[in-house]
Amino acid sequence: VVLVSAFWYIRRQLIKGDFGHRMIRIIFVLATFLLISDAVLRLNHAYESNNELLCSLCLVIGTSLLPILGLLWFVYTIHVTRSNIKRWILILISSVLFALNLVLAILSFFPGFNIYYIIVGHNVSRGQLYFIYALILISPFLASLITVFARWSVMKKRRSPWPFFNYSVIPIVAVIWQFFLMNYSIALLGIVASFVIIVLDIQHYFAITDFLTGLYNRRNLIKYLTSKMKKMDPNDKYAGFMLDINNFKSINDKYGHSYGDQVLKDVSKVLLSVIERGDYLARFGGDEFVIICSIDKDEEVAMIIDKIKKACDKYNADEKKTHTIVFSIGSAIFKAENGMTPNRFLEVIDDRMYIDKQSSKAI
287 burial via Cβ count (<10 Å: 0-12, 13-18, 19+)? buried
Q: Which residue has the higher pLDDT, 296 or 336?
A: 296
Mean local confidence (pLDDT), 37-56: 81
Q: pLDDT digits over 200-257, tens only?
A: 888 888 899 998 999 999 999 999 999 998 888 878 889 999 999 998 999 999 999 9
What is the rounded end-to-end Cα distance, in angstroms, of the chain? 64
Mean local confidence (pLDDT), 125-147: 93
Which is nearest to 32 in space by CA: 75, 60, 65? 65
Q: pLDDT digits over 144-175, tens only?
A: 999 999 999 888 888 889 999 988 999 999 99
Statement: residue 1 has pLDDT above 90: no
* Contact call for residues 291 and 271 (beta carbons, < 8 A): yes
Statement: residue 136 has pLDDT above 70: yes
Q: Identify the sign of the CA torsion 313, 314, 316, 317.
A: positive
- How high is the pLDDT of residue 363? 44
Question: Residue 338: which pLDDT band, with cuts at 50, 70 and 90?
Answer: low
Statement: residue 349 has pLDDT above 50: yes
Q: How far apart (Å, rounded) are the C-alpha atoms in residues 137 and 187? A: 9
Q: How far apart (Å, rounded) are the C-alpha atoms in residues 363 and 344? A: 29
Statement: residue 276 has pLDDT above 50: yes
Q: Which residue has the higher pLDDT, 4 or 303?
A: 303
What's the chain's length in residues?
363
The fold adopted by the segment(s) 218-362 is Alpha-Beta Plaits (3.30.70)
Q: Identify the sign of the CA torsion 109, 112, 118, 119.
A: positive
Distances (CA, A) of 240 to 67, 245, 281, 330: 46, 17, 10, 8
Q: How far apart (Å, rounded) are the C-alpha atoms in residues 41 and 361? A: 73
Q: Which residue has the higher pLDDT, 46 or 320?
A: 320
Which amino acid is residue 317, in one-letter code? A
Statement: residue 258 has pLDDT above 80: yes
Phi, psi of 125 (to 5 degrees): -125, 165
Indicate the domain borders of the chain: 2-208, 218-362
Share of the chain above pLDDT 70, in %: 97
Q: pLDDT digits over 84-106, tens only?
A: 888 888 889 999 999 999 999 99
Mean local confidence (pLDDT), 323-342: 87
- How high is the pLDDT of residue 108? 85
Statement: residue 124 has pLDDT above 90: no
Statement: residue 181 has pLDDT above 90: no
- How high is the pLDDT of residue 122? 66
* DSSP string covering 191-227: HHHHHHHHHHHHHHHHHHB-TTT-SB-HHHHHHHHHH
Q: Which residue has the higher pLDDT, 203 or 290?
A: 290
Q: pLDDT digits over 49-72, tens only?
A: 678 788 888 989 999 999 999 999
Tell me how far the alpha carbon of residue 128 is from its chain's centroid: 38
- How high is the pLDDT of residue 48? 65
**Average pLDDT taken over every residue of the chain:** 89
* DSSP string covering 108-151: TTSTT--SSEEEETTEEEE-TTHHHHHHHHHHHHHHHHHHHHHT
